[in-house]
Amino acid sequence: MDKKEEPAIFPKNPNKTYGLMELTKTKSFQIEKGPDNTVTSWPHLFFRELILFMGVFIALMTISLLFNAPLEQEANPSNTPNPAKAPWYFLGLQEMLSWAHPFWGGIFAPTVVVIILMLTPYFDRSQKGVGVWFAPERKIANLLFTIFLVLAVGLIVVGEFFRGPNWQIFWPWNMPSPH
């Protein structure tokens, strides 16, 4: 090719060992695609997963070396502790039992919660705010879930720390012995 007729759009740079050879009119692989924001799973993902496992194991082992699991007296059907408490994750339900007929707090409420949770994605279908923590587009959904969270955790805290003999309210530091 005659150098004098070459257009000046791509002037030859003497410092480079490569140059633009040709332009063709075809689609590139990147057209109408987002940037390729991916990394290979090995090693990027797998090493992080391995490190997390080690962290979990070390943390659990440390707790297990420091604190012993509770073991009370042998089960005795004729000696009822006052109050008898369910495991902590069911204490919210046990707390609600004391308000009305046990069916409402113990069976009805958790069933309704599970049904609402399972159906949520079939009604809340908007794609706005997906992939972002506390997206502003999802204020109402996040608010409703936060209320559920506060209630669930709050009831557990009340049941665990504020309920004493005869299921009466006590301050945690005034809690009478359960026997």
Partner 1 sequence: MKKNRLLDLFTNNRFYKSIFRHGYPDDDIKRSEVVTGNLLLHIQPVKVHKNTIRAGYTLGLGLIAFYLFIILTATGILLMFYYIPSIERAYNDMKDLEFAVSFGIILRNLHRWGAHGMVAFVFLHMCRVFFTGGYKPPREFNWGIGVVLLIITLFLSLTGYLLPWDQLAFWAITIVANLIGTSPPESIMGANLRQLVLGGTIVGQNALIRFYVMHVVVLPLVAAALIGVHFWRIRKDGGISRPAEE
Q: Taking CB under 8 A as the criterion, which residues in 139-168 touch partner 1?
A: 141-142, 145, 149
Shortest distance, position 121 Cβ to partner 1, whole Å = 3
Q: State the CB neighbour count (10 A cutoff) for residue 159.
A: 23
Beta bridge partners of 163: 169
Query: Among 130, 136, 166, 174, which residue sits at the site for partner 1 (rule: CB under 8 A)?
Result: 130
* CB-nearer residue toward partner 1: 44 or 175: 44
- Region near partner 1 per CB under 8 A, out of 9-17, 22-30, 115-123, 160-168: 115-123
Which letter does DSSP use for residue 169 in this model? B
Query: Among 23, 118, 140, 169, which residue sits at the site for partner 1 (rule: CB under 8 A)?
Result: 118
Alpha-carbon distance 128 to 20, whole Å?
42
Q: Report the SS3 class of residue 12.
A: coil
User: Is 80 one of the binding residues for partner 1 (CB under 8 A)?
Assistant: yes
Query: Among 6, 10, 58, 103, which residue sits at the site for partner 1 (rule: CB under 8 A)?
Result: 103
Contacts of 172 (CB under 8 A, 6+ apart): 161, 162
Q: Report the SS3 class of residue 163.
A: strand
- Region near partner 1 per CB under 8 A, out of 2-10, 15-23, 94-102, 159-167: 94-102
Taking alpha carbons only, the member of 116, 106, 115 closest to residue 155 is 106
